[in-house]
Structure 1
Amino acid sequence: MTFTTTLPERAGRRCHNVINPLHSSVYFAPEFPAELAGLGVQDPSAAYFVGRAAAMGAVGPGTVTATFYNFSHDLIARHLPHTWSVVTPQDVLAARLRAADATLRRLLGDAVVESPEMAEAAELALRAAQGCSRPARPLYAAHADLPVPDAPHLAFWHAATLLREHRGDGHLMALLDAELDGLEALVTHTATGRGMSPKAVQRTRGWSATQWEAAKDRLLLRGLLDEEGELTAAGTELRRSLEETTDRLDRGPYEYLGAEGVARLTELATAFTTAALAAGAFPAEMFGKG
């Protein structure tokens, strides 16, 4: 693997931050659970678990808990392995691509989906993904074994998935090193005010209010949260360090693409994500500190 140039500081993170919403929007879109419901998977949580895990095959709840990290194992075990008796991984992957096609066309419009810019973004993102590495990155490695779709917008979504899971796998390494379990990672992240709200996280990740408060108590004892549940200086520093470690572990694809390619991919993905967000890609009530 040959790295081409030294990147500006946080260039990879900035690129990831505008690519990732295009990947994750599919899981929030109505098209995705509708596709899975058509295959007999009616519960949205079950749809998400098999949708994101299907690249690994018909894996059990232990594998999903390990690789997804911040979901309650009890919630996962409620749906797996049973859901694999309803649908196969191959059918789920095909349904996911159909949902991605419908979602991106709804959010961006056919003209953007079929534009030269989308084809250019797909080429750049796929090239960046060539700089990813498989060892110790199970979700990335499983998706890297999937074929690249022919349609440029689906190739871009596939590449966005590779880049997202590569960074995510590395982020779990950083969380383990910081001795934050999955729930503690969620509590500290929501305390930053970024991402999903605590209520939305508890609901979608399967944690009870009692479990959430117990995690806050553990973080209080470590000096990472204060009595009001806000990050202390030590907690803020830990979250900063986590992101910097994740950046370091995720530098491969962006160094491989090079500074010029990263800048252009960031520009293209910013335009796509801005349009998708304006079109309502994510439910507004799921985000913030509420």
Structure 2
Amino acid sequence: MTSTTLPARAGRHCYQAVNPLHSTVYFSPDYTRELTAIGLADRPAAYFAGRAAAMGRVGPGVVTATFYNFGPELVARHVPGIWEIASPEAVLAARLRSADATLRRLLGDDVVTSPEMAEAAELALRAAEGCRPGGRPLYAAHAELPVPEEPHLAFWHAATLLREHRGDGHVAMLLAAGLDPVEALVSHTASGKGMTPDFAVATRGLTRADWDAAEERLRERGLVTAEGGLTAAGTELREHIEEETDRLDLAPYEHLGAAGVARLTELAGGWTRTAVEAGAFPPALFGKG
């Protein structure tokens, strides 16, 4: 591991506190309303548009490559057709409106307008200053967007940058580990930390046969047990992937410093708990399935 002045896994813990506050938008009725209003009522189409819009009018290959774990057929069903319905600029504006409405609904106006939110925005933006674009297409595209003026939206923007920066690095580590998109999903679920198989299949454009075939390939590699859990070798591989993702994602948290990371983790962690308790994520997302 790279030498660091941060406590062990402090960057990962901060990311885990901040990222859900970005992710709430994609499960939000406010997002559905805003994207439907500009013509994107289909849920996959709205998701692909919202996350890809920063890259411009990209085609299905770019979305499949950068998102990594969605079936190519599902992507091609919607991309590039989404850009004939709504421009990337219109999608980005709708996404930001939905972030505003979602954070206000889940956290309350008192939190959204609080000094603590302004503090968190400053900390998260400072962390994002340490990100670098090389080899990180989704981060780089979002980094070119303007920072919103309102503190809660500036915080959400910074959370987006930190999310995509880590995500781009994580994809690189999945490739290095020899895990294809479906194998990555299956092995994460087998760890007990990923989506349920039913939710993954339903939302990623997969079939149960795709899932079972990937599970069998992992079993042949000695990574998954007959019951679908991780073997010792599988656990070691997943831990290695996360540790290497931490290493590739260290720069923003080193830039922020230990005290800033601890404070951002504290603030964002409390708001994430509030959002989860308010029903920000569907019950079927995690657990058995």
- TM-score, with structure 1 as normaliser: 0.98
Task: Give the Cα separation in 2 of the matches to 1:136 and 1:285.
Answer: 33
Aligned residue for 1:35?
34
Task: Give the Cα separation in 1 of the matches to 2:272 and 2:194.
Answer: 16
Aligned residue for 1:215?
214
Provide, for residues 119-165 of structure 1, a one-character-per-residue CA deviation record: whole Å limited to 9, x for no partner: 00000000000000000000000000000000000000000000000
- Pairs within 5 Å for 1:71-90: 71-90=70-89
CA shift, 1:169, in A, is 0.3
Task: Give the Cα separation in 2 of the matches to 1:119 and 1:140.
Answer: 23
Contact 1:191 1:289 (8 Å CA) reproduced: no
Unaligned runs of 5+ in 2: none
Supply the AA of the counterpart residue of 1:242: I
Task: Give the Cα separation in 1 of the matches to 2:24 and 2:41.
Answer: 19
- Pairs within 5 Å for 1:123-202: 123-202=122-201
Aligned residue for 1:264?
263
- Paired residues, number: 287
Aligned residue for 2:60?
61
Task: Give the Cα separation in 2 of the matches to 1:227 and 1:261.
Answer: 44
CA shift, 1:195, in A, is 3.1
Contact 2:185 2:194 (8 Å CA) reproduced: no
CA shift, 1:196, in A, is 1.8
Greater shift in the superposed pair: 192-201 or 100-109: 192-201
Contact 2:55 2:141 (8 Å CA) reproduced: yes
Task: Give the Cα separation in 2 of the matches to 1:131 and 1:289.
Answer: 38
Aligned residue for 2:277?
278
Supply the AA of the counterpart residue of 1:51: G
CA shift, 1:226, in A, is 1.3
Aligned residue for 1:233?
232
Task: Give the Cα separation in 2 of the matches to 1:148 and 1:157.
Answer: 10
Task: Give the Cα separation in 1 of the matches to 2:231 and 2:256.
Answer: 37
Unaligned runs of 5+ in 1: none
Contact 2:17 2:265 (8 Å CA) reproduced: yes
Supply the AA of the counterpart residue of 2:287: G
Report percent identity of matched pairs. 67
Aligned-partner SS, 1:165: helix
Q: Which runs of 4+ in 1 moved over 4 A?
A: none
CA shift, 1:286, in A, is 1.6
CA shift, 1:84, in A, is 0.8
Task: Give the Cα separation in 2 of the matches to 1:142 and 1:209.
Answer: 33
Contact 2:128 2:252 (8 Å CA) reproduced: yes
Contact 1:190 1:289 (8 Å CA) reproduced: no
